Structure 1
Amino acid sequence: MTEIADAGDHAAERPSWDCRSCGKPWPCDPAREYLAGEMDRVQLAIVMWANMDEAIPDLPQGPPSELFERFIGWTH
């Protein structure tokens, strides 16, 4: 199991992958801001890919593009 990225107060709750603090789908806007400030773009994309890989079995089946955008698309 991969460790979920540390996003300060806005951490992911498994298995819902919603934010423990605000209840929005993780990574929520505050988590994204925190993570982007802690890592360079390449490192951030790699970490978020690992988190997406962890989330896939927990989340309902949906379009892969939604998961990609949620976890990785915003990192560019």
Structure 2
Amino acid sequence: MTNHGPVLPLWLCETCDRPWPCATRRTELLGECERISLAYYMNLCLISAGQDMSWAPADVLRRRFIGWLP
């Protein structure tokens, strides 16, 4: 179990206080999930984050949540 979960509604990492998913959590997710499952999960997070942070530009959120996926 990770200590790098999101703190809502700002989607900050609970451990390192960086935008979630932080670098540590990204590495963990890549090791834990199959590619399609991870893409699905991160898209769900993107939708939730978009609702929570409606003030954030959509392209910034897209890069943050799914732009790093292989």
Could you tell me the TM-score, scaled by structure 1's length?
0.84
Matches within 5 A, 1:2-41: 8-41=2-35
> How many residues were matched structurally?
70
Query: 1:64 and 1:75 mapped to 2: Cα distance?
Result: 17
2:57 maps to 1:63 = yes
1:54 pairs with one of 44, 48, 51: 48
Report the identity percentage.
37
Moved more, 37-46 or 22-31: 37-46
CA root-mean-square deviation? 1.3
Higher helix share: 2
For 2:57 and 2:11, locate their aligned partners in 1 and report how far apart those are by CA, in whole Å. Answer: 16
The CA distance in 2 between the partners of 1:62 and 1:8, in whole Å, is 26
Which runs of structure 1 show a deviation greater than 4 angstroms over 4 or more consecutive aligned residues?
none
Give 1:60 deviation, angstroms.
4.3
Q: Which runs of 5+ in 2 are unaligned?
A: none
TM value normalised by structure 2: 0.90
Q: How much does 1:63 deviate?
A: 2.4
Q: Which runs of 5+ in 1 are unaligned?
A: 1-6
